[in-house]
Amino acid sequence: MSRSKSMSRLKVNETEINEQATSPSCFPPASAPSARILILGSFPGVTSLEKQQYYAYPRNSFWKIILSLFDLSDSLTYADRIAALIQRNIALWDVLYSCSRLGSLDSAIKARTIVVNDFSTFFTAHPLIKAIFFNGNRAETEFIKKVVPDVNLDHIMLHKLPSTSPAMAALTIDQKQEAWRLIRNYL
CB 92 within 8 A of CB 30: yes
Window from 16-25, 112-121, 130-139 with minimum mean pLDDT: 16-25
- Higher-confidence residue of 3 and 153: namely 153
| Residue 169 three-state SS | coil
81 DSSP 8-state letter:
H
Question: Quick one: average pLDDT of 61-83?
Answer: 98
CATH 3.40.470.10 fits 3-186, yes or no: yes
Q: Is 89 annotated as catalytic? A: no
pLDDT of amino acid 38: 98
Among 13, 60, 135, 152, the active-site one is 60
pLDDT digits (tens, 9 = 90+) for 96-132: 999 999 999 989 999 999 999 999 999 999 999 999 9
At position 37, the amino acid (one-letter code) is I
pLDDT of amino acid 24: 83
CB 147 within 8 A of CB 121: no
Total residues found in the chain within this entry = 187
CB 116 within 8 A of CB 95: yes
In angstroms, rounded to a whole number, what is the distance separating the alpha carbons of residues 43 and 5?
34
Question: Quick one: average pLDDT of 11-24?
Answer: 46
